[in-house]
Amino acid sequence: MFRRATGLLARPIISSARARIRPFSTDLPATETGDTNFIEAWKKLVPNIDPPKTPISFMQPRPATPSSIPTKLTVNFVLPYASELASKEVDMIIIPATTGQMGVLPGHVATIAELKPGVMSVHEGNDTTKYFVSSGFAFIHANSFADVIAVEAVPLDHIDQSLVQKGLAEFTQKLSSASTDLEKAEAQIGVDVHSALNAALTG
């Protein structure tokens, strides 16, 4: 029975590593170093226990800002349950920032943008992929790396128009009948998201 157990064990780990395209450098301790100040302070105080690892040792370091503007933008589009795009080289992305749709090209100035519910489109050559993102943040770094972190994102063709209409009507009704501030805020969020969905589908 032990033999079967090792077979069962081996299968998921091997198949998952080989079959899926590895998104980020998930399992590679790229830099084993970690923060030296912390490790030294730890060793002085608690010499018997090994210091805990810190996230920096699990990440690939980002390249430095190049002197000339690169031709492509490297996009990481992550959701809590998946990495939609991982270090994908594209020409341009358009993100729904709270101040409006924002286009990002290689060489864009470093920006931190908060996102509102809306459509994000990724342009690669002649293809455009559109996602509806619920909200989140976008970091554009000086080295033409763009990180978009969203709480939820769906490709536009997965959205059902009729459900959107129903939801919009329901939340507008809730907003008009809301009494407390909390209910008003929740209903307002629902109305915002559904009208953005509506606009995304029609526009």
Partner 1 sequence: MAMAALRREGRRFVPLISPQPISAVQSTLISQEQAPLGVRSISTQIVRNRMKSVKNIQKITKAMKMVAASKLRAIQIKAENSRGVWQPFTALLGDNPSVDVKKNVIITVSSDKGLCGGINSTSVKISKALQKLTSGPEKQSTYVVLGEKAKAQFIRDSKDNIELILTELQRNPLNYTQVSVLADDILKNVEYDALRIVFNKFHSVVSFPPTMATVLSPETVERESESGGNLGELDSYEIEGGETKGEILQNLAEFQFSCVMFNAVLENACSEQGARMSAMDSSSRNAGEMLDRLTLTYNRTRQASITTELIEIISGASALQG
In the complex, the residues that contact partner 1 under the rule CB under 8 A are 1, 5, 8-9, 12-13, 16, 23-24, 26-27, 34-35, 37-38, 41-42, 45-46, 49-50, 52-56, 58-59, 62, 76, 78-83, 86, 97-99, 102, 109-114, 116, 136-137, 139, 141-142, 145, 147, 149, 151
Give me the residue label for tokens 């503007």: 69
Choose among 77, 97, 58: nearest CA to 152: 77
**CB nearer partner 1, residue 176 or residue 182:** 182
Nearest approach in angstroms of CB 6 to partner 1 is 10
Cα dist. 191→99, 134, 153, 154, 171 in Å? 18, 13, 18, 18, 5
Q: Which is nearer to partner 1, 116 or 194 (CB)?
A: 116
Residue 28 token pair: 């590679």
* Least Å from the CB of residue 53 to partner 1: 5
Task: Rank residues 23 and 165 by Cβ distance to partner 1 and give the closer one.
Answer: 23
How near is the Cβ of 161 to partner 1 at its closest, in Å?
25
For partner 1, the closer CB: 53 or 166: 53
> Six-digit token pair at 97?
């920032």
Nearest distance, CB of residue 177 and partner 1, angstroms? 25
Q: How far apart are CA 183 and CA 103, in angstroms?
A: 34
Query: Smallest Cα–Cα separation from 95: which of 57, 123, 74, 63?
Result: 123
**Residue 6 burial (CB count, 10 A):** 9
Residue whose tokens read 């805020």: 185
The DSSP bridge partners found for residue 145 are 74
Q: Which residue, 79 or 119, has its beta carbon nearer to partner 1?
A: 79
- C-beta of 133: minimal distance to partner 1 in Å? 13
